[in-house]
A and B are shown apart, each in its own frame.
Chain A
Amino acid sequence: MKNDILKIENLKKHFGGVLAVDDCSFAVEQGTITALIGPNGSGKTTVFNLISGVTKADSGKILLAGHNLLHLQPHTISNLGLSRVFQQSRLFANLTVEENLMLAFDNEDQKFWASFLGLKNKNQISKKEIIDEYLESMRITQMRDEQTRDLSFGQKRLVEILRALINPHNLLMLDEPVAGVTPELRDKIKETLLTLKAKGETIFLIEHDMNFTLKVADWVIVMDAGQVIAEGTPDDIRHNPKVLEAYLD
């Protein structure tokens, strides 16, 4: 029996007269890398926005580890175990890399009185050590004290992935993690995702780079015009006539 961490059932979303997501149903199995692909405008990012609470769905069900996420606020959804990276950089531009990453841990340190009275200072030290390990693993330790507004596009991407990784989660959602990055960085990200999967992480990603997607994903869901048109293993998808038609249209 499949152990699904995320289940989407009959999800619908209108924007005015446009039906952006039309009765979508699919699931993401725990411990896998699942890719959501489809031509531009097929509704992939809207699905991500609906799951993470950025946009409210019209109807349907979004179940994360059994919790229905429909109508919940993004911060509540995040605290139920969802971590996300956006398509565009959403780092805190005026904070340093370390400050960005420190904010990704749980919310205990940032509670007003605990924070003001310094009750969690010991936590802060151990969290800084964890950050050091993460930065070291990506070989970007030298960026720790830089304001993120000064980083290159690729560096921002890495820091965002690290931030999402540190954010406590059961499911990691990445919206186009390798779009616009150098081939070296692309390989680094691929290596990181495969290492994470080996450690038992569940990853759900949107990606346009088919070569990358079909190499890392265990399961692929294809959307077109707001609907799920196919799903299966990368090999199934590669030869699926409906998928080929959607991309060639």
Chain B
Amino acid sequence: MASAYIVHLLILIGIYLILSLSLNLSVGYSGVLNLGHIAFYGLGAYTSALLALAGAPFLLCLLAGGLVAMFSGFLLALPTDKIKGDYLALVTIGFSFIVYSLMLNLDDLTRGPLGLPGIPRPSILGFQFNDNFYFLILVIIIVLIVYLTIKRITDSPFGKLLEATRDDELAAKILGKDTFKAKAFSLAISAFFAGIAGSLYASYITFIDPSSFSLMQIIPIISIVIVGGLASLPGTVLATIILTLIPEALRFVGFPSSILGPMRQIIYALILLLILIYRPKGFWGKVELE
């Protein structure tokens, strides 16, 4: 029983890791204050779930989830050439609301608030991932691929261009850099991985509804990125583990489930506040929050 619970927690940590690592690519490395990441997660989950329910193989569902999110990432990148900072954050929040609203109201496709039940568990080359332990191995493999891909990107000259754009976009332009293109690439890649996380979530829980992808769900992810440190992948890993496990401890205190949810939000907000005051670079970040 205990080991099943631990496996469940590790799977959730894995999915959160993909989400937060990919968010750090757009927020931490490129400086695009993207609060619409949950929308990419939701688009990936719904695309993958609908295809899986229609009988498509898991790998196709996974890829399609990522690609649909990636395409919407490109769309969201369009205003980044003109709109910056807080205003861009508002645009991304608006995007998140639009996607949430579509999930809720496109009844014929998404079944609205009733959600999509009975999403099949992954199956690759005839191997069924019904057992959570095997699902965890699948998640670990995907997390490793995502981590190494993002590390490769951020260590490369393209990654340095993203960081230059974050530090001083005008100076990068004056050096002849097409910063809009760089930000669009970064946002699209970030969205692709969020879509992959959504696809994994849908096939793990086997049921999705719009409530899992509301704007509020961005709070734990953005908290992880800030607490771990902007532009720090090891920091993001550490913060994901800590911030996923801390609220779990509340289960053992004996709070009723109606209090548990709000308590989690309070804990995230408190940690975020303390970090902002006492450690503005997060655990491991090299960029100070301004």
Contact = CB atoms under 8 A, between A and B. Distances in A.
Interface of A: 52, 54, 73-75, 78-79, 83-84, 86, 90-95, 99-100, 102-104, 106-107, 109-112, 115-116, 118, 120, 124, 147, 163, 167-168
Contacts of B89: none
B45 interface: no
Contacts of A79: 176
A110 B176 contact: no
B161 A94 contact: no
Contacts of A54: 170, 174
B185 interface: yes
Contacts of A120: 157
B251 interface: no
Nearest to A84: B174
A144 B10 CA distance: 41
A95 B156 contact: no
A112 B168 contact: no
User: For A104, A112, A124, which residue has the most chain B Cβ atoms within 10 angstroms?
Assistant: A112
Contact of A110 (B161, B168, B170, B287): B161
A90 B172 CA distance: 9
Contacts of A109: 157
Given A92-B167, A92-B168, A78 B157 contact: no
Contact of B174 (A52, A106, A110): A52
A91 B156 CA distance: 19
The 7 closest A-B pairs by CB, nearest first: A78-B176, A115-B158, A90-B171, A92-B167, A74-B173, A109-B157, A115-B156
A75 B176 contact: yes
A90 B157 contact: no
Interface of B: 152-153, 156-161, 163-164, 166-168, 170-179, 182, 185, 231, 286-287
Contacts of B152: 116
B34 to A, nearest CB: 19
Given A90-B168, A116-B156, A103 B287 contact: no
Nearest to B181: A112
Contacts of B159: 115
B167 A94 contact: yes
A92 B171 contact: yes
A95 B167 contact: yes
B58 to A, nearest CB: 26
A103 B168 contact: no
Given A92-B168, A124-B157, A78 B175 contact: yes
B92 to A, nearest CB: 22
Contacts of B168: 90-93
